[in-house]
Amino acid sequence: MVDLSGKITLGEGSALLRKTVRGLLDDKRTKIVLNLADVDYIDSSGIGELVSAFTTSKGRGGELKLLHLTKKVHDLLQLTKLYTVFDVYTDESSALRSFQ
Amino acid sequence: MGTDPKHLEITLETQVESVNLAEEMCLRVAEAAGFGEDDCYKIGMSVREGVINAFHYGNQERPEKKIHLAVDLTGDKMIIHVLDEGQGFTLAEVPDPLAEENLLSTSGRGIFLMRAFMDEFDVVPGRTGGAEIVMAKKLPLQENPGSNGKGSQGSSPHQGA
């Protein structure tokens, strides 16, 4: 479980997400839940980084899921038709159970 | 804010920090113009995406190039211009990010988001080269719409193809 907060935007936010996910995958921790409850803002770079994290995890035989989307993030993922691409959960236990 | 047209211009460096600066500046203008929270969010995001586009695609992240941002407040809309110093592009060249083959692309959603969030959007050749994104949001309805509009300054965009 990775708890993210603030903004996932061009620059530090996106870079930190990329570094965090890559680090987990390098450590062979391939079942990842990104908790976005405290992410109140994301731009196209941030969306691109989420997609990259998703495809990279999948490419390494892992899974990446999203948890607790805020309304803005939820609406953006729906608008860009990515909401159905990601596994999105509203409670932690369901997200964790989904890996079994 | 009164109904006299207002014009604001700023030249930005081609660097990541310019995206935040442009967004902040336009948010202040939007708030002063009376836009509500939802419209301010959409305007701020659109400016972000426009400047990101200029930074990354237009100016290729080259620090010697500049990004030109202009905001016009007319009697009925807020018009934003983002001009880069790149090679220029047309909307027809931009892949559809909603197409199945592009859905998992890690980039290419900026134009789509600007078109979704703004009332008017177009890309025109810049007057000195490059591409100029021109987008507009209609001002919120005023309670007393009786004031006489004096016309507008700056170009007014239309919906692109």
A10 within 8 A of B19, measured Cβ to Cβ: yes
B41/A72 CB distance under 8 A: yes
Residue of chain B nearest A10, judged by CA positions: B16
Residue B23 scores a pLDDT above 90: yes
Residue A46 scores a pLDDT above 90: yes
Instruction: Give CA–CA dist A95/B88, Å, rounded.
Output: 45
- Average pLDDT of span A1-15: 89
Show which of residues 91-130 on chain B sit within 8 Å of chain A, judged by CB atoms. Answer: 97-98, 103-107, 109-110, 112-113, 116
Residue A43 scores a pLDDT above 70: yes
Among candidates B103, B107, B113 on the partner chain, residue whose Cβ is nearest the Cβ of A85: B103
Residue of chain B nearest A52, judged by CA positions: B106
- Average pLDDT of span B119-128: 93
Looking at domain B6-138, which of 3.40.47.10, 3.30.365.10, 3.40.718.10, 3.30.565.10 is its CATH number? 3.30.565.10
**What pLDDT score was predicted for residue B149?**
44
Pick B28 or B153 by higher pLDDT: B28
Crossing angle for the helix pair B37-53 and B17-33, to the nearest 10 degrees: 150
Residue of chain B nearest A54, judged by CA positions: B104
Residue B154 scores a pLDDT above 60: no
Contacts of B12 in chain A (CB under 8 A): none
* Residue B150 pLDDT class (50, 70, 90 cuts): very low
- pLDDT tens, position by position, A60-73: 999 999 999 999 99
User: What b/e sequence results for B72-90 when a residue is b if at least 16 CB atoms lie within 10 Å of its CB, and e otherwise?
Assistant: bbbbebbbbbbbbbbebbe
End-to-end CA distance of chain B: 33
* Residue A79 pLDDT class (50, 70, 90 cuts): very high
Q: Which domains does chain A have, with CATH numbers?
A: 2-97 (3.30.750.24)
Residue ranges of domains in chain B? 6-138
User: Could you tell me which residues of chain A have a Cβ less than 8 Å from any Cβ in chain B?
Assistant: 9-11, 43-45, 47-49, 51-52, 54-55, 72, 76, 79-82, 85
A44/B16 CB distance under 8 A: no
**What pLDDT score was predicted for residue B152?**
40
* Residue B69 pLDDT class (50, 70, 90 cuts): very high
**What pLDDT score was predicted for residue B128?**
81
* Residue B161 pLDDT class (50, 70, 90 cuts): very low
* Residue B2 pLDDT class (50, 70, 90 cuts): low
In eight-state DSSP terms, residue B54 is I
Strands B6-13 and B120-125: unpaired
